Amino acid sequence: MRSTLCRIALGFWIVTIAVVGWFFVRGWTTQGTDGRIQIVLAPAERDLILGEMRMLLKAVHSVVTGLAGQDQEAGRTQIEQAVRSAGMDMAADVNPALMAKLPLPFKQMGMSIHKDMDALADAIVQKETPQQILQRLSSMTARCTGCHDMYRFAAER
């Protein structure tokens, strides 16, 4: 009897792990009418992620504006602070339930952008040339546009 209960419990455990793993990789998604994958989120979750994307865009804008300025040396501190604010610290306290709804490639792209924001801030402090900084930024925005081409958000029903 005990052996049978252990096998049943083990079976439930394996099924549970498989289901959790499936949702961790796939997230809460459906196929969109425009060919993109729809990530299904509650309105507050959607607003949170879109707000984060706006902060990332503002950091990019700070870099471009700072590099276009006349006194680039004076602007480096402001640029570095704006970029650092969009780094990994921004992603540190994300709700685990929200993270579970996001597909793995989306999570990977998002985390790589936050890590690269920290690396970009370090590059600014190390006085990389404007050309090197723009090259880093170009690589990052290529991932942003790729993600926007692949995903969209849909409201939970």
Domain ranges (residues) in the chain: 2-155
pLDDT digits (tens, 9 = 90+) for 18-63: 555 555 555 779 999 999 999 999 999 999 999 999 999 999 999 9
> What whole-number distance in Å separates Cα of residue 118 and Cα of residue 18?
34
Whether the CB-CB separation of 52 and 129 falls below 8 Å is answered with no
- Taking 3-state DSSP, the helix, strand and coil percentages for the chain, each rounded to the nearest 5, stand at 75, 10, 15
Strand partners, 40: 154
Whether the CB-CB separation of 87 and 124 falls below 8 Å is answered with no
> What whole-number distance in Å separates Cα of residue 120 and Cα of residue 79?
10
Q: What is the model's pLDDT at position 156? A: 78
pLDDT digits (tens, 9 = 90+) for 57-99: 999 999 999 888 766 676 788 899 999 999 999 887 778 888 8
* pLDDT of 117 higher than 70: yes
Give the pairing type, strands 151-155 and 37-41: parallel
> What band does 13 get if pLDDT is binned at 50, 70 and 90?
low
Residue 83's nearest CA partner among 66, 63, 69, 99 is: 63
Q: What is the model's pLDDT at position 75? A: 77
Give the pairing type, strands 29-31 and 151-155: unpaired
Q: What is the model's pLDDT at position 101? A: 92
Residue 39's nearest CA partner among 50, 48, 28, 55 is: 28
Q: What is the model's pLDDT at position 72? A: 65
Q: 28 or 126: whose pLDDT is higher?
A: 126
Q: 122 or 25: whose pLDDT is higher?
A: 122
Q: What is the model's pLDDT at position 71? A: 66
Question: Would you state the CATH architecture of domain 2-155?
Answer: Up-down Bundle (1.20)
